[in-house]
Amino acid sequence: MKGLSKKMVDIIEKRQKELTKLCSELVQAKSENPPGDVSAPANVCRDFLKQEGISYQTFEPEKGHTSVIGAVGKGKPSLVLCGHIDVVPAGDPSKWTVDPYKGEVKQGKLYGRGSTDQKAGVAAQLMATAAAKDFEAELSGKITVANVPDEEAQGPAGVIWLVENKKLTGDACLITEPTGYMDGHYSIVAGERGTCWLKITAYGKPAHGSVPARGRNAIEILTTFMPTLKALEAEAVETPEDAKVLVKNGEREQRRLALKDGIPPSKLVKTLTHYTANIGVITGGTKTNVVPEKCEAEVDIRVPAGGHPDGVEKFVRSILPENLDVEVINRTLPSYTSASDPLIKAIQKGVRPVFGYSPPPTYMPATTDAHFFRALLDIPAMSFGPGCGELTHTYDEFVYVKDIKNVAKVYANVIADFVGKG
């Protein structure tokens, strides 16, 4: 096994300039979500797989929402490497000191929207798969490399469509989301909170704005109610026994981030054992001089291990006053993979010769595509990828070039360990 790992790692070392160029090309291939059209980076992935002689399929359940799925080897065990190729919008370009879609490399950093989240991970998984292709005869199982859309907006045409339509399957999944930190260390994210996204609507009575007493102001009704949702955050949820190691490790990560950012540690640490509510969108009214008859808010409520979206909906309905309605617009269960899972052990083993330590398995406050693999395929799924979490969705997003190469080497080690011939 060491021989196969070394041969694959040597290939990646020799091709590091190509790897950086591949990541740069992916960043240059604009794919903001919304709207979610990933045709440009899908073409980059397809061209790379074709160049490497790796068989692939493309799926496009919605126009522009394209997945490119490549495969090396056959049989079992089967390992999925999965990364999303959509990115959040770059926002105001004047707030960037670099062009967000140039994919420029400066002082060892590759800049651009999606460089960290997560086109570096996609480039690394593609190059590791290409290295495996060179030694396909030494594999006892199969590697599937999935480059997918619809992660940033949790749309229906990405992983969920592929899994439900039996286009993507395996025995374990490694998501290539960024799991590094600015202080240089990495973790393995093996658990994540669930979601319960709500649309809450208040109904008022229109009247002339000069005599507001003749109407009922829907904006005031809604904004008066919204603070009561904070009651969800008051009490901790009992963490399941087999998730406690992940949550404890995750709390250490959150404490370190809080101290770095000057935030009271308890505010971040508690996110792993508590519900949180964020009002993300609010709209209402028709005209300045009209008492608004309708107001809507979209609320992102995150669900810790041991909690349930159904409980959130039930609670909100129980406190909802007259003239307000609530609708669940998105829901996912909290999910995790055991800290003792063999794939976690393989990642830790693969990281040590590259980074010099074994990263801890942790729980995270947010949500990724990993929960689809756990919930729908009942397979272990976790994230380990190049890039710093603090840089995701920020201006001047970047990834260290050396981290792209080093994580690609980790993937090569994991492939050799997980699907190589013993």
Please report the pLDDT score of residue 134 as a whole number: 95
Q: Are residues 23 and 172 in the same domain?
A: yes
**Cα separation, 280 vs 300, whole angstroms:** 7
For residue 279, being part of any structural domain is answered with yes
| Residues 334-355: tens digit of each pLDDT | 999 999 999 999 999 999 999 9
Global confidence as pTM: 0.93
Higher pLDDT, 155 or 396: 396
Select from 129, 215, 211, 173 the least CA-distant residue to 377: 173
- Residue 231 confidence (pLDDT) above 80: yes
Q: Are residues 182 and 150 in the same domain?
A: yes
111 strand-pairing partners: 398
Q: Are residues 151 and 279 in the same domain?
A: no
Q: Are residues 177 and 208 in the same domain?
A: no
Cβ atoms < 10 Å from Cβ of 103: 23
- Angle formed by the axes of helices 120-133 and 39-51, nearest 10°: 20
| Residues 71-122: tens digit of each pLDDT | 999 999 999 999 999 999 999 999 999 999 999 999 999 999 999 999 999 9
Torsion-angle region of 393 (φ positive above 0: left; ψ -120 to 50: alpha; else: beta): left
Q: Are residues 341 and 315 in the same domain?
A: no
Last residue of a domain, one of 266, 298, 332: 332
- Residue 182 confidence (pLDDT) above 70: yes
Average pLDDT, the chain: 96
Please report the pLDDT score of residue 421 as a whole number: 81
| Residues 164-178: tens digit of each pLDDT | 999 999 999 999 999
Q: What is the number of domains present in the chain?
A: 2
Q: Are residues 325 and 344 in the same domain?
A: no
For residue 268, being part of any structural domain is answered with no
Q: Are residues 105 and 230 in the same domain?
A: no
Q: Are residues 325 and 339 in the same domain?
A: no
For residue 137, being part of any structural domain is answered with yes
- Residue 1 confidence (pLDDT) above 60: no
Q: Are residues 210 and 168 in the same domain?
A: no
Select from 138, 113, 162, 286 the least CA-distant residue to 215: 286
Higher pLDDT, 403 or 154: 403
For residue 247, being part of any structural domain is answered with no
* DSSP H or E segment with residue 56: strand 55-62
Cβ atoms < 10 Å from Cβ of 89: 13
Q: What is the percent of the chain with per-residue pLDDT over 90, rounded to a whole number? A: 97
Q: Are residues 326 and 414 in the same domain?
A: no
For residue 254, being part of any structural domain is answered with no
- The domain of 171 spans 2-192+335-419
Could you give the 3-state DSSP secondary structure of residue 336?
A: strand
Cα distances from 320 to residues 26, 135, 226, 231, 314, in angstroms, run: 46, 61, 10, 13, 10
Residue 328 maps to which CATH number? 3.30.70.360
| Helical spans, DSSP H, in 38-143 | 39-51, 120-133
For residue 148, being part of any structural domain is answered with yes
Q: Are residues 44 and 185 in the same domain?
A: yes
For residue 267, being part of any structural domain is answered with no
| Residues 293-318: tens digit of each pLDDT | 999 999 999 999 999 999 999 999 99
Confidence of residue 422 (pLDDT cuts 50, 70, 90): low
For residue 257, being part of any structural domain is answered with no
| Residues 358-416: tens digit of each pLDDT | 999 999 999 999 999 999 999 999 999 999 999 999 999 999 999 999 999 999 999 99
Q: Are residues 84 and 121 in the same domain?
A: yes
Residue 21 maps to which CATH number? 3.40.630.10
Last residue of a domain, one of 291, 309, 332: 332
- Residue 151 confidence (pLDDT) above 90: yes
| Residues 248-297: tens digit of each pLDDT | 999 999 999 999 889 999 999 999 999 999 999 999 999 999 999 999 99
- Residue 153 confidence (pLDDT) above 90: no
Please report the pLDDT score of residue 2 as a whole number: 74
Give, as one character, the DSSP assignment of residue 420.
B
